Structure 1
Amino acid sequence: MDVCATRVLLTGFEPFAGDEANPSWPAAQRAAELLAAAPPRQLAVTTRLLPVEFGRSAELLRAAVREVRPAVVVCAGLAGGTDAVRVERVAVNLDDARIPDAAGRQPVDVPAVPGGPAAWFATLPVKAAVRAVAEAGVPVQLSASAGGFVCNHVFAALMDHLETEDDDERARGGFVHLPWASELPHPPGVPHLPLEQLAQALTAVVRAALDHTDDLRVPGGALH
């Protein structure tokens, strides 16, 4: 890895619950290609595939952050049923699984990070990221809840890890939920977007994090 390049870490998830594909992983891989090829900023982009498992996913993510020492971390996951990319604002310190994970675990009403705070805010400039994704022509919204399953578990682990690191320059991190990808197997009748658009969305989020020291001061609230 080029020590002069700005390091970026992107993660996606394995397929789960009988699904043939999880668009978060190929989208992360394609986004890595787009970022590495985009001038003028020199980027060294690393991708990691995470299992849909409580505990193990967080451990692998923390290990990847320690190894890569990135400036920006964007974790991606699937929000099947949504028709837009969702930039997550808040990681809640709560595991409340409606179904078992890939290892058969189903935690209910337990902390994602024992001893941690009730919640963490993403350190990505989320509103700037939403605008960047929209300017790329991809449907997008700012979201205040990453749910109670493994996506939120990973998001919480990431934010806790970045908050407690001893480095003088901590990475900026956050989580992005993606719809199904049009080209990949997905349930009938659900909303979907082209895989290239999902990758472009992740690319835009990373670029917003690199380009904005402070977030935009624009309204981002919603009724629900």
Structure 2
Amino acid sequence: MKKKILVSGFEPFGDVTINPTMGIIEKLNRSHQGNVELHTIILPVVYNECANVLIEEINKVQPDIVISLGVAMGRSAITPERIGINIQDTVGEGASGDNHGDRPFDRLIEEDGPDGLFSTIPIRDITNELKKHGIPAQISNSAGTYICNNTLYSVLLHVQINQLSIRVGFIHVPATPGMVLNKPHLPSMDLELQVKGIQTVIDCLSEK
């Protein structure tokens, strides 16, 4: 039986005019997924709305696994996130805030929610599999306090509260070369290698 996997990416934000997660999803949709029933969605870069849109899609698709993708400027590897934390804080994450101009400071995502929730996808296995395929990868212990973290935490909380048997994770990818043309000190990764990486993640999860 095919596993349903829902993969989300994000629209551009701030001074990021091209979000590589959109390119990844476009290319994944064109590829053969074998024993996976693939569903994809692009999310708004807006606090809370990001997760609400994804949760609505989860309720519609009823996937086995949800993988959210985000771009992390300054990282040189594909990085599965270990944990989402109960905070929204734009300070240090982007001077312009989200795409609606919201710039929270130390604001809780969920007033009575737990401080943090761990990803439920096998991040160690994923990292090892990526490396086995020659793709730079490492586990990240911080998804930040911006929209990516908001998405991971809120979806994990939704699954926990509703006792759903859905595995949830978040994976950051590096900037692509075109994003750092004027910032040569920042690392990058070619989009094709990122696509190969996320396809490897999907293949890994389809077997677990």
Q: What is the TM-score normalised by the length of structure 1?
A: 0.84
Deviation string, structure 1 residues 51-83 (Cα, Å, up to 9, x no partner): 111011111011011111111110000101111
Deviation string, structure 1 residues 25-73 (Cα, Å, up to 9, x no partner): 2113323444xx143x2x2211111111101111101101111111111
Is 1:85–1:179's contact at 8 Å kept on the other side of the alignment?
Answer: yes
| Residue 172 of structure 1, aligned match among 163, 167, 179 | 167
Is 1:10–1:32's contact at 8 Å kept on the other side of the alignment?
Answer: no
Q: What corresponds to 1:111 in structure 2?
A: 108
Matched, 1:132 2:129: yes
Matches for 1:34-183 after TM superposition, within 5 Å: 34=31, 37-39=32-34, 41=35, 43-98=36-91, 99=95, 100-167=97-164, 170-182=165-177
Matched, 1:199 2:195: yes
Is 1:133–1:200's contact at 8 Å kept on the other side of the alignment?
Answer: no
Deviation of the 1:187 alpha carbon: 4.5
Is 1:136–1:200's contact at 8 Å kept on the other side of the alignment?
Answer: no
Is 2:81–2:143's contact at 8 Å kept on the other side of the alignment?
Answer: yes
Deviation of the 1:89 alpha carbon: 0.5
Matches for 1:25-40 after TM superposition, within 5 Å: 25-34=22-31, 37-39=32-34
Query: SS at 1:96's partner residue?
Result: coil
Instruction: Count the aligned residue pairs.
Output: 202
Identity of paired residues, percent? 26
Is 2:176–2:190's contact at 8 Å kept on the other side of the alignment?
Answer: yes
Query: SS at 2:6's partner residue?
Result: strand
Code of the residue aligned with 2:102 in structure 1: it is: R
Code of the residue aligned with 1:95 in structure 2: it is: Q
Deviation of the 1:185 alpha carbon: 4.1
| Residue 22 of structure 1, aligned match among 19, 25, 45 | 19
Q: Report the Cα distance in structure 2 between the residues aligned to 1:209 and 1:165, rounded to whole angstroms.
A: 22
Deviation of the 1:204 alpha carbon: 2.0
Q: CA RMSD in A?
A: 1.6
Q: What corresponds to 1:216 in structure 2?
A: none
Structure that is richer in strand per residue: 1
Deviation string, structure 1 residues 154-193 (Cα, Å, up to 9, x no partner): 11111111212244xx1111000110123x4444212111
Q: Report the Cα distance in structure 2 between the residues aligned to 1:12 and 1:205, rounded to whole angstroms.
A: 15
Is 1:28–1:76's contact at 8 Å kept on the other side of the alignment?
Answer: no
Q: Report the Cα distance in structure 1 between the residues aligned to 2:16 and 2:140, rounded to whole angstroms.
A: 25
Matched, 1:9 2:10: no
Change (3 A) 1:7 1:80: same
User: Can you give the 5+ residue segments of structure 1 that lack an aligned partner in the other structure?
Assistant: 213-224
Q: Report the Cα distance in structure 1 between the residues aligned to 2:204 and 2:131, rounded to whole angstroms.
A: 12
Code of the residue aligned with 2:170 in structure 1: it is: F
Change (3 A) 1:97 1:194: same
